[in-house]
Amino acid sequence: MNEQLDSKTGWLSRDELDNIRANVPLVYVDAVPVRVDDLGRVTHVGMLLRQAADGTLSRMVVSGRVMYGERVRDALLRHLEKDLGPVALPRIPAEVAPFTIVEYFPDPDVSGFHDPRHHAVSLAFVVPVAGDCQPTQEALDLAWYPPEQAVSEAVRREMTGGHDRLIRLALAHVGQLP
């Protein structure tokens, strides 16, 4: 097995990851967890409270890297289960397609989406969840907001890195932007 890459898990050493982050855009997934009513309309948007890449406490969507050899669908499921718990029961279709692509840059002025660690290209999805969600690992809290509150100034002030824009894009995509 290569010392730099464990091909079974897709993990790189910290030094190798830092070197790649400095030179190559990484592929990520962003998942906006939602609860829907019987007609499929979004009733609530889930946002985690966790330490953001810039060191601040921030409300954000589920997000993470796609590992080497991992399908996008599997990466979505892995991150949703890691952040929302194993009984979140996300409804991810067999063939996934993002509603948008987000580019995060170390310079916040390039795209409005910011990650001080690196340049990342993220495939963004709206994912209905049906089960009981409990924040796990790095998340300090999980809050569910009705669409009107999710885009309110009070909630937007709690977000960094452009996640407030991502929530607005997600709600517009499903026809629920207030």
**Tokens encoding 44:** 């609530």
In which element (H, E) is residue 22 found?
A: helix 14-23
Looking at the structure of the chain, the number of domains it has is: 1
Q: CATH number of the domain that 160 lies in?
A: 3.90.79.10
- pLDDT tens series, the chain, 178 aa: 344 444 455 677 888 888 888 888 999 999 999 999 999 999 999 999 998 877 889 999 999 999 989 999 999 999 999 999 888 999 998 889 999 999 999 998 999 999 999 899 999 999 999 888 887 767 789 999 999 999 999 999 999 999 999 999 999 999 999 8
Q: DSSP string covering 95-138, please? A: S---SEEEEEBSSTTTTS-B-TT--EEEEEEEEEB-S-----TT
pTM: 0.88
97 within domain boundaries: yes
- Report d(CA 166, CA 135) in Å as an integer: 20
Which whole-number Å values give the CA distances from 77 to 33, 90, 147, 155, in the listed order? 11, 7, 23, 26
7 within domain boundaries: no
14 within domain boundaries: no
Query: Domain span at residue 159?
Result: 35-173
20 within domain boundaries: no
134 within domain boundaries: yes
8 within domain boundaries: no
